Amino acid sequence: AEVEMSDAADAISSNENLGVSSLSWCTGRFEPATLVVGFSSGRVSIYRYNDGQRSWLEAIRLPGHATGNGVPRGVLDVAWAPNVGRSYHLIATCGKDNQLKVHRVKRGRGGKGDAAEGSGSQLSLVYEGTEVLDQSQAWRCQWNVTGTVLASSGDGGMVKLWKSDFQGRWKCVSEIVGDTTGVAAATAFQNQ
């Protein structure tokens, strides 16, 4: 089935006034066209293409990024983990609230209203939970090729690598500090 991207843009932009700040495709081989979108308002939504309606629909709204008292903060990056044999999806988000999060979304059978016309039931998505991994400034997040290690980077010139233990809890397993001497030299040169 051919997916009209202009329809996706219309569906997404009609739901958000401040704009899209990041997006990432689900690369699952047996999934319909699905993407996660981060918004400048702090909202994080999963959109899925519905063949029966020939349109993009918001499938799930994940916990967004906001301050402790609920003031919305923008989403800086989203990353959908490649799925190699898991029965669930992992989606990482980082935002201006200084939080790096991993959301877990399970595949399930579509219920009422989820079935595409004439195709029987399709796989639906069910939100399972969110874990906050870090509360320092993370600007970017990206998964490795198997979706088992998450990398995050921020202002401090450091890349952090995160991995889930056997109980499903995420831990920082490595910190890679970049060489910031070149940045300091360039700054000093500009200030002369």
- Burial grade of 37 (CB within 10 A; 0-12, 13-18, 19 or more): buried
Tell me if 138 sits within 8 A of 152, measured CB to CB: yes
CA distance 17 to 121: 33
Residues 6+ apart with CB under 8 A from 87: 106, 107
pLDDT score at 180: 63
Q: Tell me the residue ranges of DSSP E strands in the chain.
A: 20-25, 34-39, 44-50, 55-62, 75-80, 88-95, 100-109, 123-134, 140-143, 149-153, 158-164, 170-177
> Average of pLDDT values for 119-132?
76
Give 128's Cβ-side CA count (13 Å radius): 15
Q: What is the pLDDT of residues 51-65, one digit of tens each?
A: 888 999 999 999 999
pLDDT score at 162: 96
> What are the residue ranges of helices labelled H in the chain?
5-14, 181-190
Whole-model pTM?
Answer: 0.79
> Average of pLDDT values for 154-170?
91
CA distance 18 to 74: 10
pLDDT score at 78: 98
Q: How confident is the model at residue 190 (pLDDT cuts 50, 70, 90)?
A: very low
C-alpha distances out from residue 74 to 11, 60, 83, 141, Å: 20, 18, 27, 15
pLDDT score at 113: 39
3 state DSSP class of 135: coil
Tell me if 119 sits within 8 A of 156, measured CB to CB: no
Amino acid at position 58, single letter: E
